[in-house]
């Protein structure tokens, strides 16, 4: 357990550790050294898969297959808490989520990468917090992604000449079915830009775990609002998916050295999100809940 006032990986002079959450195609990055798969246990259950540890140009990376290798776990059954907790235990300090999405905007065609800055959470069958009866906390989520990470992602996409847009709202639906046309048009009327099934409560839990978080939403096709949606073939979608995976690997390759030189905690407050979040009085905290949160909230809980 960490002592109050310290966070692994955020103390001055401590190199950051970059976590990547996404599909299996993202992990075959050229130049990744010292690779090893390792199971990281979590008190919140089993993560989606083992974690892949490695180094890229001296930057430590940890990869998590969100749905498990072979895409075994559907969105509603992902153990988001175990995934984020395991990454925290592995020393990860910043997370980049790479996610396939549908487009809700004509100007965001397949193949576009969107550096998301907002979410609308429409999920309903998922546990969304590490905190529960016996230890209550409320973190700020007005700005749910890290602007510093977003800057780095945007710079890499520009360098790679990948079609992209900085800023956009990601509507997270429950799934596993896709939306109806009425729902798709409703989400467009709300000002949402892309739609997917995976980034909530992932982003919320990353904030509770005091980790920087950014989403790279990779458009595979237009959602069903689009008049050409019904004419899209499986072959066309697979072609876009493969192209997006190639670009995602290049993004990781470019991004890693950009994040190597952070000193101290994130200036956007990601690494200190729990400073004023815990409401339950120290004497009333459930010791069992405190023990489960040794990685997520050990910095502020100290000895409980």
For 44, other C-beta atoms within 10 Å of its C-beta total 21
- Looking up tokens 């109806």 gives 180
Q: Give the three-class secondary structure for 33.
A: strand
User: Is residue 207 a contact partner of residue 139, using CB atoms and an 8 Å limit?
Assistant: yes
In 39-166, which ranges are E strands?
51-56, 59-65, 94-103, 113-116, 118-121, 164-166
Is 246 tagged catalytic? no
* CA 228 to centroid of chain Cα atoms: 30
Matching residue, tokens 């959602």? 223
Q: Which of 85, 117, 121, 223 is catalytic?
A: 223
* Active-site option among 221, 228, 275, 294: 221
Coil/strand/helix, residue 169: strand
Task: Please answer whether residues 49 and 83 qualify as being in contact, where contact means their C-beta atoms are separated by less than 8 angstroms.
Answer: no
Instruction: Compute the distance between CA of residue 42 and CA of residue 48 in angstroms, rounded to an integer.
Output: 11
Question: What are the angstrom distances between the C-alpha of 85 and each of 45, 82, 137, 149, 154?
Answer: 10, 5, 16, 20, 27
Taking the CA atoms of the chain, what radius of gyration do you get in angstroms?
Answer: 19
Residue where the block lists tokens 């969105």: 75
Is 235 annotated as catalytic?
Answer: no
Catalytic residues: 221, 223
């Amino acid at each position: 357990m960490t002592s109050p006032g310290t966070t692994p990986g955020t103390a001055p002079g401590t190199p950051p550790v970059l976590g990547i959450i996404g599909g299996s195609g993202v992990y075959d990055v050229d130049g990744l050294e010292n690779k090893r798969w390792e199971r990281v246990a979590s008190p919140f259950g089993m993560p989606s898969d083992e974690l892949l540890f490695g180094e890229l140009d001296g930057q430590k990376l940890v990869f998590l297959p969100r749905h498990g290798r072979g895409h075994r776990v559907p969105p509603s059954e992902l153990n988001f808490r175990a995934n984020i907790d395991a990454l925290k235990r592995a020393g990860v300090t910043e997370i980049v989520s790479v996610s396939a999405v549908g487009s809700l905007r004509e100007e965001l065609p397949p193949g576009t990468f969107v550096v998301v800055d907002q979410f609308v959470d429409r999920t309903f069958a998922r546990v969304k917090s590490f905190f529960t009866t016996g230890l209550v906390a409320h973190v700020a989520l007005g700005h749910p992604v890290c602007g510093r990470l977003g800057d780095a992602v945007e710079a890499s996409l520009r360098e790679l000449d990948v079609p992209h847009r900085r800023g956009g709202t990601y509507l997270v639906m429950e799934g596993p079915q896709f939306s109806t046309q009425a729902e798709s048009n409703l989400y467009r009327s709300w000002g949402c830009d892309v739609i997917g099934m995976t980034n909530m409560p992932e982003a919320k839990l990353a904030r509770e775990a005091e980790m920087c978080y950014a989403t790279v939403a990779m458009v595979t096709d237009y959602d069903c609002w689009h008049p050409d949606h019904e004419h899209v073939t499986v072959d066309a979608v697979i072609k876009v998916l493969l192209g997006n995976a190639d670009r995602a690997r290049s993004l990781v390759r470019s991004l890693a050295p950009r994040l190597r030189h952070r000193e101290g905690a994130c200036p956007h407050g990601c690494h200190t999100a729990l400073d004023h979040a815990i409401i339950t009085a120290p004497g009333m905290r459930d010791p069992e809940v405190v023990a489960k949160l040794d990685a997520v909230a050990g910095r502020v809980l100290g000895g409980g």
